[in-house]
């Protein structure tokens, strides 16, 4: 019998009761899910990205279903940081939710990250900050995680501005070498890297002779990207000494276990919440049995079990 404490996990300074969180942009500000999901069971909630100033987002249509996936180009539609702090954070921090809240922030320019980080410094109810360095649907937003030096500098500036909060750097998979970007983030002093945001894609309505999304291109998520995201986790786990949060197409307990043995210390579930909001709490219930099947007695023992030991046969 695996005790509940054996499900806990650590992302640098961030301690979570279990390794399953819900991903930014796919769970709203959680209020939308009240009545459907038992928040207290979750390893954490990452609310929709917040920016310094309100953003209207992209023109519709903003989503399009594809084979085994979802394309989106929301464009970081949100009401801005002050609105979030006044209207969403008090409820998220309340006993009604009672699970770790990881505030996800994005910025138009590098100096906005430390400004936002400084603003939330010391506020109760925020367990950690996740820097969205990787939104594919905003001009400029993607650039922070496509160059190792810039990534390092942005992470370091946010950490300096808010030294007490654990810091996660959410990276884009739309790069040639994710390992060097993750190394940049680690060098900047983040507690963990979140791998990954969506993969750039496009859907075209050839009869109407135009892209389906109002923005043209969008980001692909859901089961279609799972092997690609898993590969990113695998590569970084084998090369960089930094805890990893695995994200991308995770929908079942098998997916969670694959990401953990590939090197993820925690996972976030995204698109699945749109069609099955209870998926995250269900896999948490299934975790003890899966760990027993793996032959380990804690989450900690499962992390990197394959990526840290496997070598190709020669
Ligand atoms: C509709 C939609 C909106 C998203 N919005 C955000 C966002 O605001 N900030 C962010 O960091 N990631 C955002 N993401 C990316 C997800 O958090 C996640 O990284 C990605 O979808 C891959 O995980 P999944 O395949 O489980 O959905 C969004 C994804 C979707 C589908």
37 domain-assigned? yes
Q: Is residue 15 part of a domain?
A: yes
Domain assignment present for 206: no
Q: How far apart are CA 215 and CA 9, in angstroms?
A: 38
- The finding on whether 247 has its CB within 6 A of some atom of ligand 1 is yes
For residue 45, being part of any structural domain is answered with: yes
Residue 90 lies in a domain: yes
Q: Considering the domain boundaries, does residue 212 fall inside one?
A: no
Q: How many domains does the chain have?
A: 1
Distance 87 CA to ligand 1 centre (A): 22
Residue of 135, 151, 190, 232 marked active site: 135
CA–CA distance, 208 with 206 (Å, rounded to integer): 5
Closest-CA residue to 203 (of 73, 56, 25)? 73
Residue 192 lies in a domain: yes
Q: Which of 230, 238, 191, 253 is nearest to 20 (CA)?
A: 253
Cβ-in-10-Å burial (0-12, 13-18, 19+) of 278 comes to: middle
| Domain CATH for 275 | 3.20.20.70
Per-residue pLDDT band for 314 (boundaries 50, 70, 90) equals confident
Q: Quick: pLDDT tens for 107-143.
A: 988 999 999 999 999 999 999 999 999 866 666 545 7
Q: What are 218's strand-pairing partners?
A: 201
Closest atom, ligand 1, to C-alpha of 130: 11
Inform me whether the pLDDT recorded for 198 exceeds 90. Answer: yes
pLDDT at residue 94, as a whole number: 95
Is the C-beta atom of 221 inside 6 A of ligand 1? yes
Coil vs helix vs strand at 232:
helix
**265, 11 contact by CB (below 8 A):** yes
Q: Is the pTM of this model over 0.85?
A: yes
Any ligand 1 atom below 6 A from CB of 74: yes
Exposure string over 105-137, b if 16+ CB within 10 A, otherwise e: bbbeeeebbbbbbebbeeeebbbbbbbbbbbbb
Domain around 261: 4-57+75-200+222-302
Decide if 243 is inside a domain: yes
How many helices (H) and strands (E) would you count in the chain? 10, 16
pLDDT at 138: 66
CA of 1 to the centre of ligand 1 (A): 35
CA proximity to 140, closest of 55, 67, 68: 55
**Closest protein CA for atom 2 of ligand 1:** 25
269 lines ligand 1 (CB under 6 A): yes
Q: What is the pLDDT of residue 136?
A: 65
Known active-site residue 232: no
Residue 190 to residues 12, 71, 185, Cα–Cα distance (Å): 8, 29, 6
User: Does 248 sit in the ligand 1 pocket, CB within 6 Å?
Assistant: yes
pLDDT for the residue numbered 139: 60
Pocket lining: 226 vs ligand 1, CB cutoff 6 Å: no
Residue nearest to atom 23 of ligand 1 (CA): 248
Closest by alpha carbon to 18, among 10, 28, 26?
10
């Amino acid at each position: 019998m695996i005790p509940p404490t054996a499900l806990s996990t650590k992302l640098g300074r961030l301690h979570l009761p279990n390794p399953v969180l819900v991903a930014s942009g796919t769970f709203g500000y959680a209020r939308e899910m009240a009545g459907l999901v038992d928040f207290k069971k979750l390893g954490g909630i990452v609310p929709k990205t917040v920016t310094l100033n309100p953003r209207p987002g992209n023109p519709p249509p903003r989503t399009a279903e594809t084979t085994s996936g979802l394309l989106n180009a929301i464009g970081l539609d949100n009401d801005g940081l002050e609105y979030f702090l006044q209207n969403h954070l008090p409820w998220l921090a309340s006993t009604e939710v009672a699970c770790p809240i990881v505030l996800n922030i994005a910025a138009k320019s590098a100096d906005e990250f430390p400004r936002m980080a400084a603003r939330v410094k010391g506020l109760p109810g925020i367990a950690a900050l996740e820097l969205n360095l990787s939104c594919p649907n905003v001009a400029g937003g993607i650039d922070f995680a496509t160059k190792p030096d810039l990534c390092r500098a942005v992470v370091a500036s946010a950490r300096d501005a808010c030294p007490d909060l654990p810091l996660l750097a959410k990276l884009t998979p739309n790069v040639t070498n994710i390992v060097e970007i993750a190394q940049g983030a680690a060098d900047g002093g983040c507690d963990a890297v979140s791998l990954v945001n969506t993969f750039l894609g496009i859907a075209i309505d050839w009869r109407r002779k135009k892209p389906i999304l109002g923005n043209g291109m969008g980001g692909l998520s859901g089961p279609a990207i799972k092997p690609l995201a898993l590969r990113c986790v695998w590569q970084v786990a084998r090369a960089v000494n930094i805890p990893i949060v695995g994200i991308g197409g995770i929908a079942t307990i098998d997916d969670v276990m694959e990401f953990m043995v590939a090197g993820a210390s925690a996972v976030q579930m995204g698109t699945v919440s749109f069609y099955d909001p209870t998926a995250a709490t269900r896999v948490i219930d299934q975790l003890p049995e899966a760990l027993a099947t793996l032959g380990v007695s804690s989450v900690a023992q499962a992390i990197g079990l394959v990526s840290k030991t496997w070598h190709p046969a020669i």
